[in-house]
Structure 1
Amino acid sequence: MKTLFCGLLLALLAGCAGPDVQQYKAQQPALDLAAYFTGTTDAWGMFQRRGGAVQKRFHVVITGTSSEGVLTLDEQFRYDDGSTQRRVWRLTRAADGRWRGRADDVKGEAQGELAGNALRWQYTLLLPVDGSTYEMAFDDWMFLIDDCTMINRASMAKFGVELGQVTLMFRRRACGP
Protein backbone atom coordinates (compact mmCIF):
# COMPACT_ATOMS: atom_id res chain seq x y z
CA MET A 1 0.00 0.00 0.00
CA LYS A 2 2.83 2.39 0.87
CA THR A 3 4.51 1.67 -2.50
CA LEU A 4 1.25 2.32 -4.36
CA PHE A 5 0.78 5.65 -2.50
CA CYS A 6 4.36 6.73 -3.28
CA GLY A 7 3.91 5.81 -6.95
CA LEU A 8 0.68 7.80 -7.21
CA LEU A 9 2.29 10.78 -5.47
CA LEU A 10 5.26 10.73 -7.86
CA ALA A 11 2.94 10.51 -10.87
CA LEU A 12 0.92 13.47 -9.57
CA LEU A 13 4.06 15.56 -9.02
CA ALA A 14 5.41 14.69 -12.47
CA GLY A 15 2.12 15.83 -13.99
CA CYS A 16 2.53 19.24 -12.33
CA ALA A 17 6.03 19.83 -13.73
CA GLY A 18 4.83 21.36 -17.01
CA PRO A 19 6.78 21.87 -20.21
CA ASP A 20 10.41 22.94 -20.38
CA VAL A 21 10.97 26.21 -22.25
CA GLN A 22 14.01 24.64 -23.96
CA GLN A 23 11.69 22.50 -26.10
CA TYR A 24 11.03 25.71 -28.09
CA LYS A 25 14.69 26.61 -28.75
CA ALA A 26 14.45 25.82 -32.49
CA GLN A 27 11.17 27.73 -32.98
CA GLN A 28 11.27 30.86 -35.13
CA PRO A 29 11.12 33.77 -35.13
CA ALA A 30 13.48 33.93 -32.16
CA LEU A 31 12.26 36.23 -29.40
CA ASP A 32 14.57 39.13 -28.57
CA LEU A 33 12.80 40.58 -25.54
CA ALA A 34 14.49 44.02 -25.63
CA ALA A 35 13.97 44.44 -29.39
CA TYR A 36 10.31 43.39 -29.19
CA PHE A 37 9.35 45.66 -26.31
CA THR A 38 11.41 48.77 -27.14
CA GLY A 39 8.89 51.38 -28.27
CA THR A 40 5.13 51.16 -27.74
CA THR A 41 3.21 47.90 -27.61
CA ASP A 42 -0.51 47.39 -27.14
CA ALA A 43 -1.92 44.32 -25.43
CA TRP A 44 -5.50 43.13 -25.06
CA GLY A 45 -6.36 40.52 -22.49
CA MET A 46 -8.76 38.86 -20.11
CA PHE A 47 -8.75 37.09 -16.78
CA GLN A 48 -10.73 33.85 -16.58
CA ARG A 49 -11.65 32.09 -13.37
CA ARG A 50 -10.70 28.45 -12.94
CA GLY A 51 -14.07 27.34 -14.38
CA GLY A 52 -13.52 29.43 -17.53
CA ALA A 53 -15.83 32.39 -16.89
CA VAL A 54 -14.32 35.71 -18.01
CA GLN A 55 -14.14 37.97 -14.97
CA LYS A 56 -12.26 40.96 -16.39
CA ARG A 57 -11.07 42.29 -19.76
CA PHE A 58 -8.39 44.93 -20.27
CA HIS A 59 -6.18 46.89 -22.63
CA VAL A 60 -2.55 47.68 -21.80
CA VAL A 61 -0.29 50.27 -23.39
CA ILE A 62 3.35 49.32 -22.77
CA THR A 63 6.15 51.82 -23.27
CA GLY A 64 9.51 50.05 -23.41
CA THR A 65 12.89 51.72 -23.05
CA SER A 66 16.36 50.25 -22.79
CA SER A 67 19.27 51.94 -21.06
CA GLU A 68 22.48 50.67 -19.46
CA GLY A 69 21.40 47.03 -19.65
CA VAL A 70 17.97 47.60 -18.11
CA LEU A 71 14.76 47.08 -20.10
CA THR A 72 11.99 49.17 -18.51
CA LEU A 73 8.39 48.33 -19.34
CA ASP A 74 5.89 50.97 -18.23
CA GLU A 75 2.49 49.23 -18.38
CA GLN A 76 -0.72 51.30 -18.29
CA PHE A 77 -3.81 49.10 -17.77
CA ARG A 78 -7.41 50.09 -18.48
CA TYR A 79 -10.00 47.53 -17.37
CA ASP A 80 -13.49 47.04 -18.78
CA ASP A 81 -15.01 48.48 -15.58
CA GLY A 82 -13.15 51.78 -16.20
CA SER A 83 -10.50 51.23 -13.50
CA THR A 84 -6.82 51.76 -14.27
CA GLN A 85 -3.53 50.41 -12.99
CA ARG A 86 0.16 50.99 -13.63
CA ARG A 87 3.04 48.54 -13.32
CA VAL A 88 6.64 49.36 -14.13
CA TRP A 89 8.93 46.39 -14.77
CA ARG A 90 12.73 46.72 -14.66
CA LEU A 91 14.26 43.75 -16.43
CA THR A 92 17.90 42.71 -16.73
CA ARG A 93 19.51 39.88 -18.60
CA ALA A 94 21.77 37.71 -16.43
CA ALA A 95 25.10 36.28 -17.57
CA ASP A 96 23.45 32.85 -18.05
CA GLY A 97 20.97 34.37 -20.55
CA ARG A 98 18.02 34.25 -18.19
CA TRP A 99 16.00 37.36 -17.38
CA ARG A 100 15.36 38.85 -13.95
CA GLY A 101 12.73 41.45 -13.17
CA ARG A 102 11.28 43.63 -10.47
CA ALA A 103 8.10 45.68 -10.11
CA ASP A 104 6.55 47.37 -7.09
CA ASP A 105 3.70 44.86 -6.86
CA VAL A 106 5.91 41.80 -7.37
CA LYS A 107 7.33 40.02 -4.32
CA GLY A 108 11.06 39.46 -4.71
CA GLU A 109 12.46 38.89 -8.16
CA ALA A 110 10.73 37.50 -11.23
CA GLN A 111 12.65 34.80 -13.12
CA GLY A 112 12.51 34.32 -16.86
CA GLU A 113 13.98 31.81 -19.26
CA LEU A 114 13.94 32.40 -23.00
CA ALA A 115 14.40 29.81 -25.76
CA GLY A 116 13.55 30.24 -29.45
CA ASN A 117 10.21 32.02 -29.72
CA ALA A 118 9.18 31.40 -26.08
CA LEU A 119 9.68 33.02 -22.71
CA ARG A 120 8.65 31.42 -19.41
CA TRP A 121 8.27 34.08 -16.75
CA GLN A 122 7.57 33.18 -13.10
CA TYR A 123 6.86 35.55 -10.24
CA THR A 124 4.67 36.26 -7.21
CA LEU A 125 2.23 39.12 -7.71
CA LEU A 126 0.94 41.02 -4.67
CA LEU A 127 -2.74 41.28 -5.58
CA PRO A 128 -4.95 43.70 -3.61
CA VAL A 129 -8.54 42.49 -3.10
CA ASP A 130 -11.05 44.24 -0.82
CA GLY A 131 -8.44 45.77 1.50
CA SER A 132 -6.27 42.64 1.72
CA THR A 133 -3.21 41.67 -0.31
CA TYR A 134 -2.77 38.13 -1.62
CA GLU A 135 0.43 36.55 -2.91
CA MET A 136 -0.44 34.93 -6.24
CA ALA A 137 2.05 32.71 -8.08
CA PHE A 138 2.17 33.43 -11.82
CA ASP A 139 3.51 31.01 -14.42
CA ASP A 140 3.61 33.14 -17.54
CA TRP A 141 4.30 31.82 -21.07
CA MET A 142 4.89 34.20 -23.98
CA PHE A 143 5.15 33.01 -27.60
CA LEU A 144 6.32 35.25 -30.44
CA ILE A 145 4.10 34.56 -33.45
CA ASP A 146 5.74 36.99 -35.89
CA ASP A 147 7.83 40.17 -35.59
CA CYS A 148 4.72 42.12 -34.54
CA THR A 149 2.54 39.71 -32.57
CA MET A 150 3.02 37.79 -29.34
CA ILE A 151 0.56 35.67 -27.36
CA ASN A 152 0.77 35.29 -23.58
CA ARG A 153 -0.96 32.75 -21.34
CA ALA A 154 -0.44 32.87 -17.58
CA SER A 155 -1.66 30.60 -14.84
CA MET A 156 -2.43 32.24 -11.50
CA ALA A 157 -2.27 30.01 -8.41
CA LYS A 158 -2.41 30.17 -4.63
CA PHE A 159 -0.91 27.32 -2.57
CA GLY A 160 -0.38 25.40 -5.82
CA VAL A 161 -4.07 25.51 -6.77
CA GLU A 162 -4.85 27.29 -10.04
CA LEU A 163 -7.40 30.05 -9.50
CA GLY A 164 -7.52 31.34 -13.05
CA GLN A 165 -5.71 32.25 -16.24
CA VAL A 166 -4.73 35.47 -17.95
CA THR A 167 -4.57 35.54 -21.75
CA LEU A 168 -3.06 38.44 -23.71
CA MET A 169 -2.32 39.30 -27.31
CA PHE A 170 0.50 41.84 -27.87
CA ARG A 171 0.96 43.95 -30.99
CA ARG A 172 3.88 46.33 -31.59
CA ARG A 173 2.71 49.78 -32.75
CA ALA A 174 5.70 50.06 -35.09
CA CYS A 175 4.01 47.36 -37.19
CA GLY A 176 0.85 49.39 -37.80
CA PRO A 177 -2.75 48.35 -37.21
Structure 2
Amino acid sequence: MEPMLLVLTGAALALGAVLLGSHILGFVAQRPADFAGQGPVLNLRDHLAGPLLCEGVIYGPTGRVVSRFVAEMEAHWHGNVGTMTEEFRYDSGAVQHRQWTLHVEGDDRIRAEAPDVVGTGHGELCGPALRLRYRIRLPDSAGGYVLDTTDWMYVVENGTIINRSQFRKYGFKVAELIATIRKNDR
Protein backbone atom coordinates (compact mmCIF):
# COMPACT_ATOMS: atom_id res chain seq x y z
CA MET A 1 0.00 0.00 0.00
CA GLU A 2 1.23 3.51 -0.78
CA PRO A 3 2.56 5.44 2.27
CA MET A 4 0.19 8.38 1.63
CA LEU A 5 -2.79 6.02 1.41
CA LEU A 6 -1.74 4.42 4.70
CA VAL A 7 -1.62 7.86 6.37
CA LEU A 8 -5.05 8.81 4.99
CA THR A 9 -6.55 5.46 5.98
CA GLY A 10 -5.08 5.81 9.50
CA ALA A 11 -6.44 9.36 9.79
CA ALA A 12 -9.90 8.23 8.66
CA LEU A 13 -9.87 5.39 11.20
CA ALA A 14 -8.79 7.78 13.97
CA LEU A 15 -11.54 10.27 13.06
CA GLY A 16 -14.09 7.45 12.98
CA ALA A 17 -12.94 6.25 16.41
CA VAL A 18 -13.23 9.77 17.85
CA LEU A 19 -16.74 10.23 16.45
CA LEU A 20 -17.85 6.79 17.64
CA GLY A 21 -16.27 7.38 21.05
CA SER A 22 -18.12 10.66 21.49
CA HIS A 23 -21.43 8.88 20.84
CA ILE A 24 -20.55 5.98 23.16
CA LEU A 25 -18.86 7.93 25.96
CA GLY A 26 -19.94 11.55 25.57
CA PHE A 27 -22.90 13.85 26.05
CA VAL A 28 -25.18 11.88 23.72
CA ALA A 29 -24.47 8.63 25.56
CA GLN A 30 -25.62 9.83 29.02
CA ARG A 31 -28.77 8.22 30.38
CA PRO A 32 -31.02 9.47 33.17
CA ALA A 33 -30.41 6.19 35.01
CA ASP A 34 -26.74 7.25 35.33
CA PHE A 35 -27.94 9.61 38.09
CA ALA A 36 -30.10 7.14 40.05
CA GLY A 37 -29.68 7.44 43.81
CA GLN A 38 -27.95 10.81 43.57
CA GLY A 39 -29.31 14.00 45.08
CA PRO A 40 -30.67 16.50 45.46
CA VAL A 41 -33.73 15.32 43.54
CA LEU A 42 -34.86 17.61 40.72
CA ASN A 43 -38.56 18.35 41.25
CA LEU A 44 -39.86 20.47 38.39
CA ARG A 45 -42.87 21.72 40.35
CA ASP A 46 -40.50 23.11 43.02
CA HIS A 47 -37.36 24.05 41.08
CA LEU A 48 -39.15 25.53 38.05
CA ALA A 49 -41.76 27.60 39.84
CA GLY A 50 -42.36 31.32 40.23
CA PRO A 51 -40.00 33.96 38.84
CA LEU A 52 -36.73 32.56 37.49
CA LEU A 53 -33.56 34.08 36.07
CA CYS A 54 -31.57 32.33 33.35
CA GLU A 55 -28.11 33.42 32.18
CA GLY A 56 -26.10 31.70 29.50
CA VAL A 57 -23.97 31.50 26.41
CA ILE A 58 -24.39 29.80 23.05
CA TYR A 59 -21.42 28.22 21.29
CA GLY A 60 -21.27 27.73 17.52
CA PRO A 61 -20.04 24.59 15.74
CA THR A 62 -16.37 25.51 16.25
CA GLY A 63 -16.79 25.96 20.02
CA ARG A 64 -16.57 29.76 19.98
CA VAL A 65 -19.15 31.84 21.83
CA VAL A 66 -21.61 33.26 19.29
CA SER A 67 -24.16 34.75 21.68
CA ARG A 68 -24.81 35.59 25.32
CA PHE A 69 -28.22 36.03 26.90
CA VAL A 70 -30.24 36.74 30.02
CA ALA A 71 -33.80 35.43 30.27
CA GLU A 72 -36.54 36.19 32.73
CA MET A 73 -38.90 33.26 33.21
CA GLU A 74 -42.11 32.71 35.10
CA ALA A 75 -43.49 29.23 35.81
CA HIS A 76 -46.82 28.21 37.35
CA TRP A 77 -48.22 24.77 38.04
CA HIS A 78 -51.76 23.43 38.20
CA GLY A 79 -51.32 19.87 39.40
CA ASN A 80 -49.02 18.12 36.96
CA VAL A 81 -49.32 20.73 34.21
CA GLY A 82 -46.98 23.71 34.19
CA THR A 83 -46.73 26.81 32.04
CA MET A 84 -43.38 28.53 31.74
CA THR A 85 -43.00 31.82 29.88
CA GLU A 86 -39.56 32.98 28.84
CA GLU A 87 -38.23 36.32 27.59
CA PHE A 88 -34.68 36.08 26.25
CA ARG A 89 -32.55 39.21 25.76
CA TYR A 90 -29.50 38.52 23.64
CA ASP A 91 -26.28 40.54 23.52
CA SER A 92 -27.22 41.49 19.92
CA GLY A 93 -30.28 43.34 21.23
CA ALA A 94 -32.68 40.69 19.91
CA VAL A 95 -35.56 39.63 22.14
CA GLN A 96 -37.20 36.20 21.94
CA HIS A 97 -40.36 34.97 23.67
CA ARG A 98 -41.32 31.34 24.26
CA GLN A 99 -44.03 29.64 26.29
CA TRP A 100 -43.64 26.03 27.32
CA THR A 101 -46.40 23.73 28.50
CA LEU A 102 -44.96 20.98 30.68
CA HIS A 103 -46.79 17.77 31.61
CA VAL A 104 -45.29 15.69 34.43
CA GLU A 105 -46.34 12.05 34.03
CA GLY A 106 -45.67 9.89 37.06
CA ASP A 107 -42.47 10.57 38.93
CA ASP A 108 -40.04 10.38 36.02
CA ARG A 109 -41.57 11.37 32.67
CA ILE A 110 -42.29 14.75 31.13
CA ARG A 111 -43.89 15.97 27.91
CA ALA A 112 -43.06 19.47 26.70
CA GLU A 113 -44.67 21.65 24.05
CA ALA A 114 -43.89 25.12 22.71
CA PRO A 115 -44.85 26.96 19.51
CA ASP A 116 -41.36 26.57 18.00
CA VAL A 117 -41.05 22.90 19.00
CA VAL A 118 -41.93 20.49 16.19
CA GLY A 119 -44.20 17.86 17.72
CA THR A 120 -43.77 17.09 21.41
CA GLY A 121 -40.63 16.96 23.51
CA HIS A 122 -40.10 13.96 25.76
CA GLY A 123 -38.07 13.90 28.93
CA GLU A 124 -37.03 11.66 31.76
CA LEU A 125 -36.14 12.65 35.32
CA CYS A 126 -33.83 10.68 37.59
CA GLY A 127 -32.29 12.01 40.80
CA PRO A 128 -30.80 15.45 40.17
CA ALA A 129 -31.05 15.23 36.37
CA LEU A 130 -33.52 15.71 33.53
CA ARG A 131 -32.93 14.79 29.89
CA LEU A 132 -35.35 16.43 27.47
CA ARG A 133 -35.29 15.73 23.73
CA TYR A 134 -37.19 17.72 21.13
CA ARG A 135 -36.97 19.25 17.66
CA ILE A 136 -36.88 23.03 17.55
CA ARG A 137 -37.53 25.29 14.57
CA LEU A 138 -35.21 28.28 14.48
CA PRO A 139 -36.67 31.69 13.61
CA ASP A 140 -36.59 32.67 9.92
CA SER A 141 -33.93 35.25 10.78
CA ALA A 142 -31.68 32.32 11.80
CA GLY A 143 -32.48 30.22 8.72
CA GLY A 144 -35.68 28.49 9.88
CA TYR A 145 -33.82 25.17 10.27
CA VAL A 146 -35.21 22.37 12.42
CA LEU A 147 -32.62 21.09 14.89
CA ASP A 148 -32.59 17.97 17.04
CA THR A 149 -32.10 19.15 20.61
CA THR A 150 -31.02 17.38 23.77
CA ASP A 151 -31.26 19.35 27.03
CA TRP A 152 -29.65 18.08 30.21
CA MET A 153 -30.60 19.91 33.39
CA TYR A 154 -28.90 19.22 36.71
CA VAL A 155 -29.99 20.70 40.03
CA VAL A 156 -27.21 21.51 42.52
CA GLU A 157 -27.39 21.81 46.31
CA ASN A 158 -28.51 25.47 46.40
CA GLY A 159 -31.40 24.83 43.96
CA THR A 160 -29.70 26.33 40.90
CA ILE A 161 -30.21 24.35 37.70
CA ILE A 162 -27.30 23.96 35.30
CA ASN A 163 -28.56 23.50 31.74
CA ARG A 164 -26.45 22.10 28.90
CA SER A 165 -28.09 21.73 25.51
CA GLN A 166 -26.77 20.46 22.22
CA PHE A 167 -28.37 21.22 18.87
CA ARG A 168 -27.73 18.86 15.96
CA LYS A 169 -28.50 18.79 12.26
CA TYR A 170 -28.02 15.48 10.40
CA GLY A 171 -26.35 14.15 13.56
CA PHE A 172 -23.66 16.86 13.62
CA LYS A 173 -23.46 19.31 16.53
CA VAL A 174 -24.12 22.81 15.23
CA ALA A 175 -24.50 24.65 18.55
CA GLU A 176 -24.31 24.18 22.29
CA LEU A 177 -25.88 26.18 25.11
CA ILE A 178 -24.72 26.41 28.73
CA ALA A 179 -26.94 28.28 31.19
CA THR A 180 -27.96 28.57 34.80
CA ILE A 181 -31.57 28.82 35.98
CA ARG A 182 -32.27 30.07 39.48
CA LYS A 183 -34.98 31.68 41.56
CA ASN A 184 -35.33 35.39 40.80
CA ASP A 185 -36.06 37.39 43.94
CA ARG A 186 -36.50 40.56 41.82
Per the shorter chain, which TM-score range?
0.7 to 0.9
- CA 1:130–1:84 in 2, change beyond 3 Å: closer, same or farther? closer
Matched, 1:97 2:108: yes
Which residue of the partner structure matches residue 12 of structure 1?
A: 20
Which residue of the partner structure matches residue 4 of structure 1?
A: none
Matched, 1:109 2:117: no
Deviation per residue, 1:143-164 (Å, 9 max, x gap): 1012431101111100111012
The equivalent position to 2:162 in structure 1, one of 151, 168, 171, is: 151
Aligned length: 168
Matched, 1:78 2:86: no
Gaps of 5+ in 2: 1-15
Gaps of 5+ in 1: 1-7
- CA 1:172–1:131 in 2, change beyond 3 Å: closer, same or farther? closer
The CA distance in 1 between the partners of 2:55 and 2:20, in whole Å, is 34
The one-letter code sitting in structure 1 at the alignment partner of 2:93 is: G
Contact 1:29 1:147 in 2 (8 A): no
Matched, 1:125 2:133: no
Q: Which is strand-richer, 1 or 2? A: 1
Which residue of the partner structure matches residue 13 of structure 2?
A: none
Contact 2:80 2:105 in 1 (8 A): no
The CA distance in 1 between the partners of 2:159 and 2:105, in whole Å, is 25
- Which is further off, 142-151 or 128-137? 128-137
Bigger radius of gyration among the two: 2
Matched residue of 1:130: which SS? helix
The CA distance in 2 between the partners of 1:32 and 1:98, in whole Å, is 11
The equivalent position to 1:55 in structure 2, one of 66, 79, 96, is: 66
How far is 1:82 from its partner? 1.1
The CA distance in 2 between the partners of 1:148 and 1:116, in whole Å, is 13
How far is 1:19 from its partner? 1.2
RMSD of aligned alpha carbons:
2.2
Contact 2:108 2:126 in 1 (8 A): no
Which residue of the partner structure matches residue 69 of structure 1?
A: 80
How far is 1:68 from its partner? 4.2
The CA distance in 2 between the partners of 1:172 and 1:142, in whole Å, is 15
The one-letter code sitting in structure 1 at the alignment partner of 2:56 is: G
Matched residue of 2:108: which SS? coil
Percent sequence identity over matched residues?
31
Matched residue of 1:146: which SS? coil
